[in-house]
Chain A
Amino acid sequence: MLQNSKSAFGWVTIILHWLIAVLILALLALGFVMRRLPLDPSLQFSLYQWHKSFGFTVLALAALRAAWHVLDRQPQAPAGLSALERRAAGTTHAILIVLALAVPVSGWAVASTSTLNIPSFYFDWFVIPHLPMAKSEAAESFWTSAHSILAYATLGLVAFHAMAALYHHVVRRDDVLVRMLSTRPQRRRELEKTKSSQVIAKRK
C-alpha cells in the first residue's frame, strides 16, 4: 500500500506527488505576486519569508520524492502506449523530479548570494544557513534569473504533464490519472462495465 506495485502507485508516491504539486503551484503564484505586483514593502518582506520557508519545504519533499523515485519500483505504463509515449512520459517525469530540486536550490542560492544577507528563518523556527557562496550583486542577479527561468520552465512542464494526464483520462480513457489518486485504481473499462451492468440490473 505504501510502496508502488507492478500496476499501481503506493501512498508514498501519491501523497508526495500532490503535496509537491500544490506547494509548487502556490509558490509560483506567490513568487509572481511578491515580485511583480506593487505591494506594501512590509507585506512584500513577509511574503518573501513565507516563500523561502515553503520553498525549503518543497526542497525537502522533492529530495524524498527523488530518492523514492530511484529506490522504489515504477509501475508499468498502461497498455497501449507507444514506445515514444513511454519515453516522453519517463523523460517528463524525470525532468520534473529534477526541477522540483533545482528550483528551490536556485532560490536558496539567491538568498545566499544576496547582498541583503537576510537569514532564512524557517517559519520563524530555526535558521537555515546560507550556501557557501560569495555575496555579490552579480551573483544575486544571476541566481535570480536562473530561479525565475527554472520556475517558469517548471510551470510549462507541469502544464504539459497535466494536459497529458487529462488526455489519458478523457480521450484514451485509461487509468493514468486515476492511479495517481488511489492505490487501487479500478480499471476504468471494468468500472464502466460494472456501471452499465448495474443499470441493466436496475432495469430488470
Chain B
Amino acid sequence: MMKQKSKASSAALAFCVMLATTFGPSATRASAPQLSDAAGSYGITAASRIHFSVAQVGGGGIAGDFGKFSGNFRIDGNNIARSSVNFTLYPESVETGERRVEDFLKSSAVFDSATYRTVTFRSTSITQTGPDTAAVEGTLTARGKTRKERFSVKLMDWNNRSISFKIRGSIFRSPYGMDVGTPIYSNVVEFDMNIKGQKR
C-alpha cells in the first residue's frame, strides 16, 4: 500500500515537470521560439503601446503615449535579417495628461502636426542579437527630415496567431528640428513600446 502511494506520487511529479517544460511561463517559451512558427505577416494592433519620455533637469520630465498609429511587419522564417517593419504614428494623437504640453508638442515648436501629419519608420536592416533579441535599423522621418535610427527589440510573447515585442530606442530630437526646450529638457527622447502583431 505504502509502496503504491509513493509510486503514484513520483509519477505525478514527473508529469508536473513535463508540463512545466512544455507549457512553462511565457518568458521561458518566448526565449526559444520556432522562427518557422512565428514567420508571417502581421498587422500592428491597437493594443500596442507607444510610450515616450523626455528627461528634465533636476529629475522628472515629460512622458506620454501616442494613441494613433498603424503599421505592419513581416518575419522571414528562413532568414530573420530579411524581415521588415513599417510603422506610422500620428503626432496629433499625443497624450501626456497635460493639455498645454500636448498642444505645445503638436505645435510648430515640435511636431508641427498640421504640416507634417505623420512620423514614419521603415526598417532597412534587422540583426538578431540574441535568442530573443534583435536590432532594427531603419529610416525615421519626422518633420520632413529623414535619418537612420536604431531600435532594440525583445520578443515577449507569441503564439500561432499573435506576437508581441518590447521595443526601445533613444532618439536625438535636434536633427529633426525639434530641439526646443533644451537644455531644460533632454535632447534625447526615450521610446519604450509594446508592439503587438496579429497574423494576417
Contact = CB atoms under 8 A, between A and B. Distances in A.
A binds B: yes
Interface of A: 40-42, 45, 49, 115-119, 121, 124, 127, 129
Given A115-B98, A119-B184, A41 B109 contact: yes
B181 interface: yes
Given A41-B104, A45-B180, A124-B183, A117 B109 contact: no
B109 A118 contact: no
26 contacts: A40-B109, A41-B107, A41-B108, A41-B109, A41-B180, A42-B108, A42-B109, A42-B180, A45-B104, A45-B109, A45-B180, A49-B184, A115-B98, A116-B98, A116-B100, A116-B101, A117-B60, A118-B56, A119-B56, A119-B57, A119-B58, A119-B184, A121-B58, A121-B184, A127-B57, A129-B58
Nearest to A43: B109
Interface string B35-47: 0000000000000
A40 B110 CA distance: 11
Given A115-B98, A116-B100, A119-B58, A40 B184 contact: no
A42 B181 CA distance: 8
Contacts, number: 35
Contacts of B60: 117
Contacts of B181: 45
Interface of B: 56-58, 60, 98, 100-101, 104, 107-109, 180-181, 183-184
Contact of B108 (A40, A116, A124, A127): A40
B184 A118 contact: yes
Contacts of A124: 183-184
Nearest to B180: A42
Contacts of B180: 41-42, 45
Contacts of B56: 118-119
Contacts of A119: 56-58, 184
B103 to A, nearest CB: 8
Nearest to B178: A42
B84 to A, nearest CB: 36
A118 B180 CA distance: 13
A127 B55 CA distance: 14
A170 B156 CA distance: 83
Contacts of A45: 104, 109, 180-181
Which 5 A-B pairs give the minimum distances between C-beta atoms? A42-B109, A41-B109, A127-B58, A41-B107, A42-B180
B59 to A, nearest CB: 9
A121 B57 contact: yes
Contacts of B108: 40-42
Nearest to B106: A41
A124 B58 CA distance: 12
B142 to A, nearest CB: 16
